[in-house]
A and B are shown apart, each in its own frame.
Chain A
Amino acid sequence: QVQLVESGGGVVQPGRSLRLSCAASGFTFSSYGMHWVRQAPGKGLEWVAVIWYDGSNKYYADSVKGRFTISRDNSKNTLYLQMNSLRAEDTAVYYCAREALLGYCSGGSCYLDYWGQGTLVTVSS
């Protein structure tokens, strides 16, 4: 069965860095686009970043562009999110999610069919 397990969250001071990981299993990781989505406490879902199946393309939300970097290691079935220059407003639960591959997609984009359980990042002095 598909499993996505995030790790790396914690408490970090403003301006510092943190790297999140998402270990994938139960599917051919190298075939799927992968996303990070976050949710601030008591708030809604905010899309953060996407990386194509082969790492050739990456896109970011304006709120994190230039500070966060999404990457993947297909040999390790692992997705990463490097977060630099962290701000208080980056405090959130960060979810990794798999983008559906086939079916009712729109051009090169599709819905998110599996999600991890999330990892909490708290930016505070």
Chain B
Amino acid sequence: DIQMTQSPSSLSASVGDRVTITCRASQGISNSLAWYQQKPGKAPKLLLYAASRLESGVPSRFSGSGSGTDYTLTISSLQPEDFATYYCQQYYSTPPYTFGQGTKLEIK
């Protein structure tokens, strides 16, 4: 099974900051990676797929990059509504459809 490791597990930042979250796979996943945002008490929401492709309706301040085993989610200028928990998920080698452990983005 492919393991997904996110870092950091938590992050404090201010409105307007640029933040980056990293996701590392235990083996290459050929850009078969999605990022989800989850706010407290709500369902996860798809942000990006295929590592870098923005889901319809998602603000352009969100971007993704990477290749092989290492991927990043970047928020270029944090907005108040971006404070949430972010998860990566691989769909290259399934089952299982493995999630990272999550990164909680908090207000500094």
Contact = CB atoms under 8 A, between A and B. Distances in A.
Indicate whether A and B interact: yes
Interface of A: 35, 37, 44-47, 50, 59-62, 95, 100, 103-106, 109-118
28 contacts: A44-B101, A45-B38, A45-B87, A45-B102, A46-B99, A47-B99, A50-B94, A62-B96, A95-B44, A100-B49, A103-B49, A103-B50, A104-B53, A106-B30, A106-B91, A109-B91, A110-B49, A111-B34, A111-B46, A112-B34, A112-B36, A112-B46, A113-B46, A113-B49, A115-B43, A115-B44, A117-B43, A118-B43
B44 A45 contact: yes
Given A46-B99, A109-B32, 9 more contacts: A45-B102, A47-B89, A47-B96, A59-B94, A60-B95, A62-B96, A106-B32, A112-B44, A117-B43
Contacts of A95: 43-44
A111 B99 contact: no
A62 B42 CA distance: 26
B55 interface: yes
- Interface range for B: 20 to 34
A32 B104 CA distance: 31
- Interface residue SS majority, chain B: loop
Interface of B: 29-32, 34, 36, 38, 42-46, 49-50, 53, 55, 87, 89, 91-92, 94-102
Contacts of B94: 50, 59, 109
B47 to A, nearest CB: 10
- Interface residue SS majority, chain A: strand
Contact of A44 (B34, B50, B102): B102
Contacts of A104: 31, 49-50, 53
A59 B34 CA distance: 20
